[in-house]
Amino acid sequence: MDYTIVPEVGRGTQLSAEELKKQLEKGSDEDKIAAMRSILTQMLNGDPLPSLLMHIIRFVMPSRSKKLKKMLFFYWEVVPKLGPDGKLKHEMILVCNAIRNDLQHPNEYIRGATLRFLTKIHEVDLLEPLIPTVRQCLENRHAYVRKNAVFAVLSIAKHTELIPDADELLIQLLESESDGTCRRNAFLALSRLNRDAAYAYFSKHFTELAQLDDSVQLAFIEFIRTDAVSHPDHVPSYTRILGELLQSGSATVQYDAASALAALNPTPIVLTEAAAKYVSIAVHESNNNIKIVALKRVEALNSAVPGLFSGVIMDVLLVLSTPDVDVRKQALSLALDLVTSRTVEDVIRLLKKELAATMQTNYDQNAEYRQAIIAAIHKCAVQFREVTNSVVDLLLEFLGDFNTESAVEVVKFIKEVVAVFPKLRKEIMAKLVVIINSIQSSSVFLGVLWVLGEYSLDQEDIEKTWIALRGAIGPLPIRTDADPENEEAATESTKPRVLADGTYATESAYDAPSHEASAKYPLRHLILKGKYFMAGALAAAFTKLVLRAEKVSAHKSHVNGMRAEAVLAMTSILRVSESSIDQDSYDRIYSCIQVLLDGGVVADTFLEESHKAFDYITAQQREKKAEAERSKQEASATAVDRPVELRLLGPTAAAPPTVAAASTDSKPEDKIASQLKQVYQLTGFSDPVYAEAHVRVEQFDIILDVMIFNQTTDTLQNLAVEFFSSIEDDVVDRPEEQNVAPMSFYTSRTTVHVSAMESRCLFGNIVYHGKTAAEATYIILHDLRVNVLDYVKPATASETEFRSMWTVFEWENKVSISYEHSSLQGYLKEIIAATHMRCLTPAALDSDDSDDCQFLAANLYARSVFGEDALANLSIEKRGKLVVGTLRIRAKTKNAAISIGDFVSDLRGNA
């Protein structure tokens, strides 16, 4: 059995045995509780305190306090019950009598607690006088007593021979029992004691499954899971029974039956049935956690056997009726994995309705959900060309009504569509020039201006785009003193306004915002508000339109007029901004003016390079998606030359192949090499006990498998390995004590339950007794350091999601970089390897390490097993032989940001 040690908080000087005796003898119940707590702590730390046994029997055992009764059970569990000769101590006879009295107590809860305590006692001499009373408890009128008596019988029968007819007792109880929990406990106990008897009972009652209690049905499923491993000939009948349990009225039974069915008989029909049941649970259950778990189970099945579950996609989309945005995102993610050309139209039709519904309702997570829908529509439209046209119409119709994040996602989709589908460009350009005045966000204008400037290729499109942009700017030049917005505001009525209470309103008409003016000239309004980065994009769009008009238009005078208007607009932007404009935007606008005035080779570069860069990025993204799809298919594929496994011809102890097992195919030698890297020496070769530990991280647990070798010629009694963590919130399980023979091995497992992405130090000791139990020997173990990177995994996120998280996360760690390296990209690769993050900037890793670029910027992203996100932005440049710059790390928690930054700082050569 395992124990969990919780150190005593606020403890001062440790009380001696004499002081504890006085406190037990003369203190109140509260004093005795404090004394028992101190006694238990000292005993768990290795001090047996043998002189206190009689005082506890005399002064604690007669107490009627329930807290003292609980502590007594803990004490009887850990106190040494045998003398040096290996026989039961005489004092334990009194304890045995007290336990028997508790088993006969009129309060059923005291009886039940005492029966639970008996499952932790294995001394035959202590248990033997209690057997008749335990048998009587099986017939008690209270179900609470009977269900605990079942496990007491199971424990006694497994560890001793005091109840040879235990299986017969359990069969009698099963036949006469009416309480569901008692029947469940009895069946589980019977299956562990006598498999044949349990199977006989199961075969007799499986026809009445529908009438059985939920807990009994779950016990039957557990029995099927374990019995199918050793008796594969029963798998067909078990499959039929599990199919019936799928129709149970309990969602818990349905889920468990579906899981067992998928593992037991992973054929296409069975897996489809299991997936349909998971989806049904997700639709009908009200708990959001259950919905997410059920959907993830379908996702796992689809990853193992892709293309099999497309028939449940419309049922998956029914989950979108749930108001929780996390559930909706999970449903959308699964639906995108299941969509096919046969179902895409129905999916798009439903997503359109959901998108329209988000425009009509208003709640906290509406914008986030709308963004997820747009991303889903985006993926479907790019993957299935037959629905692209209708999707574009819908998104452009709502573009002006979307919030900034959703509108940016739409513009990103439009940019990809015009690049991938040339036939739709004309129609999209025509719609963009119509809705341009409805756009109010500078971030949205950035993408729209790029599309209009890049894909206005013929004279007709150029003229339409030019008219639309000029209409959105308003009269030229742009000035603040004689701006149309101010003029319209000045014409506001100055007539006094009377409020509801009869008083005059004091707001000046000049102070009221002019929404009509900003809607009429949105580009002008944003420029005057200081959106100069967007003004640079506007200058680039003007420049591209003029340069392209020179090539396609025969009217040179008209082109010269366009050039004059463009230069006037840009110079007026520079004048109106004066000292408030940033240097990058100023240089960009000024360079556009120079290109329009001088032309030359730079003009051709201006038109071609931007288009090439976008085509390159789009191709890289498509290649990434295709590669991810290929890797997913390869993971679930089976090699052509793989031998066919026949279960009937295999060993009976081998477990049947499961869907989860089929999805992993790593080489045994790779696993061994990976495990050897995680083995750490804990003691020296000259210590009496040699120990080494294999450390691995699984979800929220750090598991330590400790191998111990007794290098002495004596038997080491009560040997235990104790670990403690430097993080207060961690909970460390303590394994049970063992006797280790001379020159023999012993393996112990300790689990550390963690809750945060933070580096930690594990320290501890080995404690044991030699020939006598009087003195304990301690061996201090070498410290184990568990890095935060053990919890960090590379993750992917879109540019919009990255920017959104970057804005929300409040903890930032800025790391200065000064590193001697021959390549910027080579250093970026070292950062990625050191932090376990993924690079989200494709162009940053395109060329080889011997590139000649002088500066580099890249975004990195990772996620921990606890669901914590970590972002990083790397900005570096080359100065001689040094790579210098900064790495900005942002995370939800302070510890995550600092810990990742520490690993970067530890790289060789960092200042």
Q: Decide if pLDDT at 276 tops 60.
A: yes
Looking at the DSSP bridge assignments, the partners of residue 689 are 710
What confidence score (pLDDT) does residue 21 get? 87
What confidence score (pLDDT) does residue 851 get? 56
Q: Quick one: angle between helices 143-159 and 180-193, nearest 10? A: 10
Task: Give the helix ranges, DSSP H, for 599-654.
Answer: 601-636
Q: Are residues 797 and 769 in the same domain?
A: no
Q: How confident is the model at residue 5 (pLDDT cuts 50, 70, 90)?
A: very low
Q: Are residues 883 and 823 in the same domain?
A: yes
Phi first, then psi, for residue 31 (nearest 5°) are: -65, -40
**Within a domain: residue 72?**
no
CA distance 233 to 230: 9
pLDDT digits (tens, 9 = 90+) for 856-905: 899 999 988 777 888 999 999 988 888 899 999 998 878 778 878 877 87
Q: Are residues 750 and 801 in the same domain?
A: no
CA distance 722 to 7: 12
- The angle at the Cα of 618, spanning 617 to 623, to the nearest 5 degrees, equals 95
Q: How confident is the model at residue 509 (pLDDT cuts 50, 70, 90)?
A: very low
**Within a domain: residue 390?**
no
Q: Are residues 734 and 821 in the same domain?
A: no
CA distance 260 to 264: 6
Q: Are 838 and 795 in contact (CB under 8 A)?
A: yes
Q: Decide if pLDDT at 511 tops 60.
A: no
Q: Decide if pLDDT at 643 tops 90.
A: no
**Within a domain: residue 446?**
yes
Q: How confident is the model at residue 619 (pLDDT cuts 50, 70, 90)?
A: confident
Q: DSSP secondary-structure letter at 5?
A: -
CA distance 460 to 450: 18
What confidence score (pLDDT) does residue 277 get? 92
Lowest mean pLDDT among 157-161, 184-188, 601-605: 601-605
CA distance 455 to 31: 85
CATH number for the domain that contains residue 839: 3.30.310.10
Q: Decide if pLDDT at 510 tops 60.
A: no
Q: Are residues 536 and 682 in the same domain?
A: no
Distances (CA, A) of 610 to 273, 348, 444, 446, 459: 51, 32, 19, 14, 20
Mean pLDDT of the chain: 81
CA distance 178 to 6: 40
Looking at the DSSP bridge assignments, the partners of residue 776 are 769
Q: Are residues 565 and 682 in the same domain?
A: no
What confidence score (pLDDT) does residue 91 get? 85
pLDDT digits (tens, 9 = 90+) for 788-800: 677 788 888 877 7
Which among 572, 599, 626 is the end of a domain? 599
Phi first, then psi, for residue 422 (nearest 5°) are: -60, -30
pLDDT digits (tens, 9 = 90+) for 409-439: 788 888 888 888 888 888 888 888 888 888 8
**Within a domain: residue 443?**
yes
Q: How confident is the model at residue 724 (pLDDT cuts 50, 70, 90)?
A: confident
What confidence score (pLDDT) does residue 378 get? 84
Burial status of residue 234 (CB atoms within 10 A of its CB: 0-12, 13-18, 19 or more)? middle
Q: Which secondary-structure segment (H or E) carries 69?
A: helix 66-78
CATH number for the domain that contains residue 691: 2.60.40.1480
Q: Are residues 835 and 714 in the same domain?
A: no
Q: Decide if pLDDT at 742 tops 80.
A: yes
pLDDT higher for 776 or 199? 199
Q: Are residues 750 and 875 in the same domain?
A: no
By DSSP bridging, strand 792-794 and strand 3-4 are: unpaired
- Containing domain of residue 901, as a range? 790-905
Q: Percent of the chain beyond pLDDT 70? A: 84
Q: Decide if pLDDT at 535 tops 50.
A: yes
pLDDT digits (tens, 9 = 90+) for 810-832: 889 998 888 888 888 888 888 88
Q: Are residues 779 and 838 in the same domain?
A: no
What confidence score (pLDDT) does residue 568 get? 92
Burial status of residue 805 (CB atoms within 10 A of its CB: 0-12, 13-18, 19 or more)? middle
What confidence score (pLDDT) does residue 610 get? 76
Which among 753, 786, 819 is the end of a domain? 786
Which among 740, 759, 786 is the end of a domain? 786
**Within a domain: residue 372?**
no
pLDDT digits (tens, 9 = 90+) for 305-350: 888 888 889 999 999 988 888 899 999 999 988 888 898 888 988 9
Q: Which secondary-structure segment (H or E) carries 201?
A: helix 195-205
**Within a domain: residue 649?**
no
Lowest mean pLDDT among 285-289, 552-556, 719-723: 552-556
Q: Are residues 737 and 831 in the same domain?
A: no
Q: Are residues 569 and 438 in the same domain?
A: yes
**Within a domain: residue 249?**
no
pLDDT digits (tens, 9 = 90+) for 681-694: 999 888 999 999 98
Q: Are residues 471 and 583 in the same domain?
A: yes
Residues 6 or more apart whose CB falls under 8 angstroms from that of 772 comprise none
**Within a domain: residue 614?**
no
Rounded to the nearest 10 degrees, how much is the dihedral formed by the CA atoms of 89, 90, 94, 96?
Answer: 50
Q: Decide if pLDDT at 780 tops 80.
A: yes
| Number of separate domains in the chain | 3
Q: How confident is the model at residue 640 (pLDDT cuts 50, 70, 90)?
A: low
DSSP assignment string, 254-282: HHHHHHHHHHH---HHHHHHHHHHHHHHH
What confidence score (pLDDT) does residue 483 get? 52
The separation between CA 808 and the C-alpha centre of its own chain, rounded to angstroms, equals: 18
DSSP assignment string, 87-106: SBPTHHHHHHHHHHHHHT-S
